[in-house]
Amino acid sequence: MYRTFILLYVICLGGAALNHARDLWLGGWMPYTHASTLENAFWTSPTFIDLLIIALLLWRPR
């Protein structure tokens, strides 16, 4: 059950990271032109944070 939960979480985070990466690909750095710089940074940062969380979830210390 624990591994299933982790796998589901990794899949969801991966989808979210891909969605934010698509925004970066199509709109360039800080793609949300209607938003302030702070909001832009807030909505751009999950691209990298989601990938970091995926790596930490999949990394198993020995």
Of the chain, the percentage scoring pLDDT greater than 70 comes to 97
Decide if pLDDT at 53 tops 80.
yes
In sequence order, the 6+-apart residues with CB closer than 8 A to the CB of 40 are: 30, 31, 32
Decide if pLDDT at 62 tops 70.
no
- What does the alpha-carbon distance between residue 5 and residue 8 come to, in Å, rounded to a whole number? 5
Decide if pLDDT at 7 tops 90.
yes
pLDDT band at 61 (very low <50, low <70, confident <90, very high): low
**pLDDT tens digits, residue range 26-52?**
988 888 888 899 999 998 898 999 999
